[in-house]
Amino acid sequence: MPSKHEPGSLGQDQTHEETGVELPRQYRVLLHNDDYTPMEFVVDILMNIFFKDEIAAMRIMLNVHNEGHGLCGVYTFEVAESKIARVHELADQAEYPLRASMEED
Ligand code: TYC
């Protein structure tokens, strides 16, 4: 069994410079405040699209309401993109101006 500092070992303490293994880039998905989307709609979005429990969803919604924007979660590009598309789809359908965006973590 090679020691965990040898190349090819199973140790998890090597840097990606040593292993050449790159982690996928991660993106923060943000929700933005507006004056028209009902609070309950935002809580439902956070529970159904971002899988938050009711307490966490309420906390994030109030943070967005008070600060202007708030973090929903951190995902790979494709997952972030599809969650944002789903938020916009549901908001558009309900005719609310709710918007989400992403930025690299
Ligand atoms: N500001 C909205 C209201 O007072 C609630 C709200 C919260 C809207 C979060 C958007 O992302 C949002 N009804």
CATH number at residue 78: 3.30.1390.10
Residue 43 lies in a domain: yes
Cβ neighbours around 95 below 10 Å, total: 8
**Residue 77 CB-half CA count within 13 A:** 4
The atom number, within ligand 1, closest to the CA of 32 reads 11
Q: What is the pLDDT of residue 82?
A: 98
Confidence of residue 5 (pLDDT cuts 50, 70, 90): very low
**Residue whose tokens read 């008070």:** 66
Q: Domain residues for 64?
A: 24-104
Q: Rounded to two decimals, what is the model's pTM?
A: 0.84
Residue 73 lies in a domain: yes
Mutate to test the pocket of ligand 1, among 49, 50, 65 (most ligand atoms within 8 A of CB): 65
Is the C-beta atom of 46 inside 6 A of ligand 1?
no
Total domains, the chain: 1
The C-alpha atoms of residue 30 and residue 42 are separated, in whole angstroms, by 12
